[in-house]
A and B are shown apart, each in its own frame.
Chain A
Amino acid sequence: MNQATLILVVLALVLLIYAWRRGDGSHRRGVSMGWRTLKRTLPLLLVAFIIVGYINVLEPQDLVSSWIGPGSGWRGLLVGTGAGMLLPGGPYVVFPLIAALYQAGAGLGPTLAIITSWSSLALLTVSFELPFLGWRFTAIRLGICLIIPPLVGLVGTLLFGG
């Protein structure tokens, strides 16, 4: 069991005990909600991991490092931001894919740009946002947030290296 698994298991146990102590059945609800999410996303998870498998065997190291490698500079940050906007799906689908790219040689800065861009600029999310908040809100939000992913990537590279 690696570090991340251990931390997650400990956190889950702490929350489980807390939920159980609340005595309102939220521990049972929490477990069943997690289980339902897992069941619902299983087909997508399988597809995401098949993609991860192909990234592994196709060995796109050269391609990845020339586009979004540690030395890819501004272009890498912008490509990462664009890629993040296009990534579809929830965290359980997107994070395995980003991890596979990172392992195939993507730089720290572009990887941070992809994560931040998917989180805040994902185009699929915009279609949810529009009916509730209107185009003006979305335009202001995208206008201000567009600079954030490249900036986060840049600062990350400067502080923590490529």
Chain B
Amino acid sequence: MRKWKPNWTTFTLTGVTLALAAVALGQGGSRMVFDGLVSGGQTLLSVIPLLLAAFLLAGLVQALVSREVVERWLGSSSGWRGILLACLGGALLPGGPYVYCPIAGAMLQSGAGLGVLMAFVTSKNLWSVSRLPYEFAFLGTHLTLIRYGLTLVIPPLVGLLTEALFGGAIGRIREAVQ
């Protein structure tokens, strides 16, 4: 019924799991292979309330901030204001690379500057609000606050820097993708 689509993530993780199981087998025999499974299962059970809350929160953010809103918002803005708006849009936009890459591509074609695009992608990567629940859930308040705090200035800075250094290349970037 459901489509099972194996991909790199699945392959790599399964490979790592098998390698670790093999190490466990060598170190402590089949007993240790079993212990690893039990320990993983116990950890998973202990975080189920957290997981449910995190997935619910991420789903709600996704439903409340639609792709159309972010696209309309950003349009072909530029300059300081454009870079800050792009940061905000990137932070609020939910979903993985398969969501934000097409949007960034559309922004590129509709005339957005390099700084704006770079700020959008970097902010999606570093400020992502929809990822916050997971980070919070697994890494705890302390680490998450430090991580967000330290990366707060980076997206606008990267936007301004790339606009100043490579802003002129946007024409060639646009043509190459068309």
| Interface residues, chain A, with chain B CB atoms under 8 Å away | 1-5, 7-9, 11-12, 15-16, 18-19, 22, 26-27, 29-38, 43-58, 88-93, 95-96, 98-99, 102, 108, 111-112, 115-116, 119-120, 124-125, 128-129, 131-137, 140-141, 144-145, 148, 152, 155-156, 159-160
Q: Tell me if A's interface is mostly helix, strand, loop or mixed.
A: helix
B62 contacts A136, C-beta separation under 8 Å? no
Interface string of B139-177 (1 = CB under 8 A from A): 111010011001100100010011000100100110011
Give the docked Cα–Cα distance between A116 and B62 (Å): 23
Q: Are B9 and A128 in contact (CB under 8 A)?
A: no
Residue of A nearest to B94 (CB): A33
B111 at the A interface (CB under 8 A): no
Residues of chain B touching chain A, judged by Cβ–Cβ distance below 8 Å, are 8-10, 12-14, 16-17, 20-21, 23-24, 27-28, 32, 35-44, 47, 49-64, 96-98, 101-102, 104-105, 108, 114, 117-118, 121-122, 125-126, 128, 131, 133-141, 143, 146-147, 150-151, 154, 158, 161-162, 166, 169, 172-173, 176-177
Given contacts A34-B59, A93-B13, A95-B139, 18 further A-B contacts (CB under 8 A): A1-B49, A4-B140, A8-B54, A8-B137, A18-B64, A32-B59, A33-B59, A37-B58, A51-B17, A53-B36, A53-B37, A57-B24, A99-B138, A99-B140, A119-B125, A120-B125, A133-B104, A133-B117
Give Cα A1 to B53, complex, Å. 12
Question: Which among A47, A52, A55 is the interface contact of B14 at CB below 8 angstroms?
Answer: A47
* Residues on the B chain within 8 Å of A45, using CB: 44, 51
Beta-carbon contact of A57 and B49 below 8 Å: no
A57 and B39 within 8 A (CB): yes
The answer on a CB contact under 8 Å between B43 and A140 is no
Query: Within 8 Å CB of B60, what residues of A?
Result: 12, 15-16, 19, 26-27, 30-31, 33-34
